[in-house]
């Protein structure tokens, strides 16, 4: 099963290496990782999308992450109310004749053309992973020359329905 896990970490050298290393050592499959600074200086936030077999493996992963000295907080937010976003840049084959047609696909996805050359167009699309997949399916017939994706970054929504509590491992709650 796919899980979205976030970790806030101290922004020290080697912390990313330590975390990806432990995932490799313990045989966890990482779908994507995104890392960046937060509102607090010296604190970074990581978002992982991982493929785990079962809840026991998942618990083990969050515990191992939390065990790292530089990791402040770990949460599996998959079952919470969240905002999850990813950004993709797609270079699509696009001779001048297809430009309008492509624009008409872009519009409903609220994507945007960020670069146009004589035979290609770079499209930037943002959203959850499903939306990006759907967009890629639509433009694939035109020919995708290059594709890059940032991986998911995610946040808890401001308001949480009560039922979704109880899946954080940041503190040991016996």
Partner 1 sequence: MKVKAQAVQERKPTAKVPKTGADLFVESLQAAGVDTIFGYPGGAVLPIYDALYRAEPRFQHILTRHEQGAIHAAEGYARVSGKPGVVIATSGPGATNLITGIADAMMDSLPLVVFTGQVGRSVIGTDAFQESDVMGITTPITKHNYQVQKQEDMPRIIKEAFYIATTGRPGPVVIDIPKDISGEVYQTAAAEEPIHLPGYQPTMKPNNNQIKKLIHAISTAKRPILLTGAGILHAKASEEVRAFAKRFQLPVTSTLLGLGAFPASDPQFLGMAGMHGTYAANRGLYECDLLINVGARFDDRLTGNLEHFAPQAIIAHIDIDPAEIGKIIPTSIPVVADAKAALQQLKTAEAEMPDTETWRNHLQNYKEEYPLWYNNPAEDLIPQWVMKAVHKATDGNAIITTDVGQHQMWTAQYYGFDRPNRWVTSGGLGTMGFGFPAAIGAQLACPESKVISVVGDGGFQMTMQELSVLQERKLPVKVLIVNNQSLGMVRQWQEFFYQERYSESLLNIQPDFVKLADSYDIKGVRLETQEQLVAELPSLLQSDEPVVIDCRVLRQENVFPMIAPGKGLHEMIGVSR
Residue closer to partner 1, measured from CB, 65 or 121: 65
Q: Interface with partner 1 includes 25 (CB under 8 A)?
A: yes
- The answer to whether 95 and 142 have CB atoms below 8 angstroms apart is no
Q: Interface with partner 1 includes 157 (CB under 8 A)?
A: no
CA 30 to chain centroid: 11
Q: Interface with partner 1 includes 54 (CB under 8 A)?
A: no
Q: Interface with partner 1 includes 59 (CB under 8 A)?
A: yes
In the complex, least distance from residue 29 CB atom to partner 1, rounded to whole angstroms: 18
Q: Where are the beta strands (DSSP E) in 94-142?
A: 112-116, 120-127
Which residues are within 8 A (CB) of 152 and not within 5 positions of it... i.e. 6 or more apart? 4, 32, 34, 47, 49, 84, 85, 86, 128, 129
In the complex, least distance from residue 159 CB atom to partner 1, rounded to whole angstroms: 27
In the complex, least distance from residue 113 CB atom to partner 1, rounded to whole angstroms: 40
Q: Interface with partner 1 includes 13 (CB under 8 A)?
A: yes
Q: Interface with partner 1 includes 67 (CB under 8 A)?
A: yes
In the complex, least distance from residue 9 CB atom to partner 1, rounded to whole angstroms: 8
Among 60, 80, 40, 105, CA closest to 163: 80
- Total residues contacting partner 1 by CB under 8 A comes to 23
- The answer to whether 70 and 15 have CB atoms below 8 angstroms apart is yes
- Stretches 6-14, 81-89, 94-102, 114-122: which one binds partner 1 (CB under 8 A)? 6-14
DSSP state of 28: P
Among 122, 170, 155, 159, CA closest to 36: 155
Give the footprint of partner 1 on this chain (CB under 8 A): 9-10, 13-14, 17-18, 21-22, 25, 56, 59-60, 63-64, 66-72, 172, 174
């Amino acid at each position: 099963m796919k899980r979205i896990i976030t970790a806030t970490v101290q922004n020290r050298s080697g912390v990313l290496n330590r975390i990806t290393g432990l995932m490799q050592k313990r045989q966890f499959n990482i779908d994507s990782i995104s890392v960046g600074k937060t509102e607090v200086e010296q604190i970074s936030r990581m978002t992982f999308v991982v493929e785990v077999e079962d809840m026991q493996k998942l618990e083990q992963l969050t515990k191992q992450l939390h065990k790292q000295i530089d990791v402040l907080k770990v949460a599996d937010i998959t079952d919470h109310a969240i905002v999850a976003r990813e950004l993709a840049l797609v270079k699509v084959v696009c001779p001048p004749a297809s430009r309008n047609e492509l624009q008409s696909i872009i519009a409903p996805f609220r994507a945007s053309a960020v670069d146009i050359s004589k035979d290609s167009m770079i499209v930037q699309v943002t959203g959850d992973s499903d939306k990006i997949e759907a967009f890629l399916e639509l433009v694939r017939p035109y020919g995708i020359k290059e594709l890059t994706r940032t991986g998911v970054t995610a946040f808890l929504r401001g308001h949480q329905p009560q039922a979704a509590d109880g899946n954080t491992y940041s503190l040991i709650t016996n």
